[in-house]
Amino acid sequence: MAKANLRTHLALARTGADRHHVGHARWKFLTRCADSDIPEVRQLATTVDRWWPEIAAFIDTGHSNTKSEGINRVIKLVTRNAFGFGNADNQRLRTRCVTTRRARGHLRTAQL
């Protein structure tokens, strides 16, 4: 139930909802989580409350850093998979190949 309410709350992004509406939705979400007997739901409320300034910025602007976080995750994965290889130049090349559009299949090359 708490996850659905959080999705509803984040759905206010880019809708032009006023601060009163967003604040009320937040209060409702945190109250429901606090009334829950499930420890994970209470922990979710604590996490949302701790990250509220960042969440509010997303709701106000509709902008996030998801693209850069995704690229960082891929770079860390490539680094982890190449553990033990000592050539830094090859590591940079592998990272570059993985994070470009061609490697992800967005650009199709001509078949010879």
Q: What is the pTM of this model?
A: 0.50
Q: Do residues 9 and 55 share a domain?
A: yes
Q: What is the pLDDT of residue 112?
A: 42
Cα 16 to Cα 13, 22, 51, 52, 85, distances in angstroms:
7, 10, 21, 18, 50
Structural domain of 49: 2-61
Q: Do residues 92 and 76 share a domain?
A: yes
Taking only Cα atoms into account, the Rg of the chain, rounded to an integer number of angstroms, comes to: 21
Q: What is the pLDDT of residue 46?
A: 92
Per-10-residue mean pLDDT for the chain, 112 residues long?
56 65 87 91 92 84 81 82 73 77 54 46
Q: Do residues 34 and 55 share a domain?
A: yes
Which of 46, 61, 76 is at the close of a domain? Answer: 61
Q: Do residues 7 and 44 share a domain?
A: yes
